[in-house]
Amino acid sequence: MKFESMRRDATPRSSAAEPAGDKPKPPGPAAALHLAQPQAPDVAEPAWDPLEDHARGILEEIGEDPERDGLLRTPARVAKALRFLTSGYNADVREILNGALFDAEGYEEPILVKDIEFYSLCEHHMLPFFGKASVAYLPGKRIVGLSKIPRLVDLFARRLQVQERMTKQIAAALEEFLEPRGVAVSLTGTHLCMAMRGVEKQASQTTTTAFAGDYQRDPNRRKEFLAQLRENKG
């Protein structure tokens, strides 16, 4: 009976002779969902970066084969990594700080954010140096959102750098845009240009400091800052 019914339904009929009860039903919700499935959007090919040609040239110059399986995507990966590691050139201090400045409401004591991890590239060998930054300021009329201080460190770290200049740049940016009574910055870093090559001293670290305002004028303020850095360290 079922087979005969299926055959009858499959037989073409004119609309005039078709009984009302045998009219085809509209598709149910499941069929509608199936019919409405969106097609996968076209995925754009990643844009070619001129740095890829330079990375490929380096591979060839050191005697490698850029066409071998493990290196086929290496030029593109190197280009992407370098764009990220130097993204600080395209960042704007104003965009980071101006939207997060608030009334200090009479608060006058030091504000310290310490042990901020940073990763940068030495401008002499383009090898990494990395470590921790500590930033303190004495508020004037305004304070800044705490998350903006690590962002400021990243902005200057993601450039070709020397640690001495990076330390001064962080302090100068805070002094200019926040107008505090004082700024203190300390960076301690490990430089792979000293660890992997050259003198090959893997355990050495470099510490740099920059002071402005009351931190520069008042030795007691500097001592207070340095003592805070030593707190909770074994």
Residues labelled catalytic: 122-125, 163, 191, 193
Residue 124, by phi and psi: left (phi above 0), alpha (psi -120 to 50) or beta?
alpha
Distance CA(147)–CA(166), nearest Å, equals 19
Of the candidates 213, 108, 126, which has an alpha carbon nearest to the alpha carbon of residue 162? Answer: 126
- The residue assigned the tokens 């400021």 is 152
First to last CA, the chain: 88
Q: Which residues, in sequence order, are bridge partners of residue 103?
A: 142
- 67: which DSSP letter? T
